[in-house]
């Protein structure tokens, strides 16, 4: 069986495979009726994957058939939640099953594209956690494959289902903001002294006897087993995009959707490892600037040393301001407290009145399930916003790592950096 192993092929071959020669013969989707049971499999059952699975099982008439994870402990955790579930280490064995309608992908970031493409090729509907891919060539390949597919794809950008986003879009479309030239956004967290954000304890059984290390490294250079890299993969560039792909991506997707923005024309990013001097490679203190067409700058800043201001965005327009402020997003559940307000600029909108948003949020997982039943490919977070937000995130990280402003053209031409 041919594999999508990015470390074993060059990038052009990978893109060519995404255009047609995929690993599986496409299997026509079962046509689901309103009352039909949806049978799912999950690839990657860490904390985020387990939360996704619980969210899926909370929906009516949904059954988990199989789990695939390189770590035995995580297979057992799913078995405890879903007695009788089939468990594999290799996701391809899960994808070969014909009794699975849809797949949730919640692996470490560097594996998203592999199983995104293989899931589509196997004829499975797909929920892929954010960020959609580890780099820009993978984002291009996944977008092209999804556009050619009949499968229903939802990206795990849960804020795309928020009522606050619906309100922000409406206020912007109505012209109540006037000309928007600046959007401010931020995300702040804190941890106890001596303990960096995301640094997790390594379980006693995290060893080569219980971990299929070769599967974890399937598209990366081979190395000796490293329990710290396996558990704390978010801290290392070869497996992660750091805080930009873990958190900023939610907010840049939210902003791009609210204003119907194209890709950024350029990005810059400054910061470093300031909060805790541990073994991490990815920065914990960040200031990102994006340039967009039509004279718009979007900024995002983040620190892991102070949580007072939580998470938020401000759209600064000549006629009004939209402010969306909440507590910090919970990393495992993706949930946050929200609120959105509009404030008129008296200089240009003297008779305007302040307003509070009131639109109800949707359940992101339920939206995917409903779209599967109706075969509606326009989910709340379809592949297009997964693609645009991924490209923006990768442009920011490239700027940081190259210590300079990166244009869109330069970002698309860049080679991957481990």
CATH number for the domain that contains residue 54 = 3.40.50.720
pTM of structure: 0.91
Q: What is the mean pLDDT of residues 94-99?
A: 97
Same domain? For 107 and 175 the reply is: no
Same domain? For 184 and 131 the reply is: no
Q: Which of 234-243, 319-328, 388-397 is predicted with the least confidence, judged by mean pLDDT?
A: 319-328
Same domain? For 139 and 271 the reply is: no
Which tens digit of pLDDT belongs to each residue from 14-42? Answer: 444 443 334 454 554 566 655 689 999 99
Same domain? For 296 and 401 the reply is: yes
Which residue, 173, 201, 223, 146, is CA-closest to 382? 146
pLDDT at 13: 47
Is 50 exceeded by the pLDDT of residue 113?
yes
Same domain? For 371 and 405 the reply is: no
Same domain? For 117 and 175 the reply is: no
Instruction: Say if residues 324 and 340 touch (Cβ distance below 8 Å).
Output: yes
Name the token pair of 105: 């992908």
Name the token pair of 25: 């013969």
The 8-class DSSP code of residue 52 comes to: H
Domain tally for the chain?
Answer: 2
Is 90 exceeded by the pLDDT of residue 301?
yes
Instruction: Say if residues 159 and 249 touch (Cβ distance below 8 Å).
Output: no
Which tens digit of pLDDT belongs to each residue from 330-387? Answer: 656 656 667 899 999 999 999 999 999 999 999 999 999 999 999 999 999 999 999 9
Angle between helices 136-148 and 112-121 (to 10 degrees): 10
Same domain? For 300 and 178 the reply is: yes
Cα atoms in the 13 Å half-sphere on the side-chain side of 404: 6
Which tens digit of pLDDT belongs to each residue from 236-249? Answer: 999 999 999 999 99
Same domain? For 263 and 377 the reply is: no
Same domain? For 153 and 167 the reply is: no
Name the token pair of 257: 């959707």
Tell me if 138 is assigned to some domain: yes
pLDDT at 328: 59
- CA-based torsion, 235, 142, 170, 167: positive or negative: negative
> Which is more confidently placed, 4 or 372?
372
- Residue 277's CATH number: 3.30.360.10
Which domain covers residue 377, as residue numbers? 6-159+366-383
Tell me if 222 is assigned to some domain: no
Output phi, psi for 98, to 5 deg: -90, -5
pLDDT at 11: 46
């Amino acid at each position: 069986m041919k594999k999508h192993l990015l470390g074993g092929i060059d990038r052009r071959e990978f893109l060519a495979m995404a255009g047609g020669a995929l690993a599986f013969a496409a299997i026509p989707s079962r046509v689901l009726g309103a009352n039909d049971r949806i049978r799912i499999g999950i690839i990657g059952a860490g904390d985020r994957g387990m939360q996704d699975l619980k969210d899926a099982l909370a929906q009516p008439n949904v059954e988990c058939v199989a789990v695939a994870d390189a770590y035995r402990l995580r297979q057992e955790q799913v078995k405890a939640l879903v007695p009788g579930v089939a468990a594999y280490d290799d996701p391809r064995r899960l994808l070969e099953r014909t009794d699975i309608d849809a797949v949730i992908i919640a692996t470490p970031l560097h594996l998203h594209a592999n199983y995104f493409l293989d899931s589509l090729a196997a004829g499975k509907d797909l929920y892929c956690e954010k960020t959609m891919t580890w780099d820009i060539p993978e984002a291009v390949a996944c977008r092209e494959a999804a556009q050619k597919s009949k499968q229903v794809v939802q990206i795990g950008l849960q804020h795309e289902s928020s009522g606050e986003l619906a309100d922000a879009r409406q206020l912007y479309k109505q012209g109540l903001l006037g000309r928007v030239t600046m959007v401010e956004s931020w995300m702040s967290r804190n941890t106890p002294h001596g303990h960096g954000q995301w640094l997790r304890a390594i379980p006693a059984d995290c060893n080569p006897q219980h971990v299929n290390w070769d599967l974890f490294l399937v598209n990366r250079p081979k190395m000796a087993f490293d329990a710290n890299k396996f558990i704390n993969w978010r801290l290392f560039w070869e497996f992660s995009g750091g805080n930009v792909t873990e958190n900023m991506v939610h907010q840049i997707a939210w902003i791009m959707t609210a204003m119907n923005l194209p890709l950024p024309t350029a990005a810059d990013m400054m910061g470093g490892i300031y909060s805790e001097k541990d073994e991490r490679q990815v920065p914990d203190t960040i200031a990102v600037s994006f340039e967009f067409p039509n004279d718009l700058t979007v900024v995002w800043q983040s620190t892991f040393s102070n949580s007072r201001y939580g998470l938020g965005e401000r759209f600064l327009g000549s006629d009004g301001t939209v402010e969306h402020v909440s507590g910090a997003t919970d990393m495992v559940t993706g949930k946050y407290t929200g609120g959105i307000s509009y404030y008129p600029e008296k200089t240009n909108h003297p008779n305007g009145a302040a307003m509070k948003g009131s639109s109800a949020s949707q359940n992101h997982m339920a939206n995917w399930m409903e779209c599967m039943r109706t075969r509606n490919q326009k989910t709340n977070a379809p592949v297009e916003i997964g693609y645009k937000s991924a490209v923006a995130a990768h442009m920011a990280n490239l700027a940081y790592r190259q210590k300079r402003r990166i244009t869109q053209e330069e970002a698309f031409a860049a080679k991957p950096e481990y």
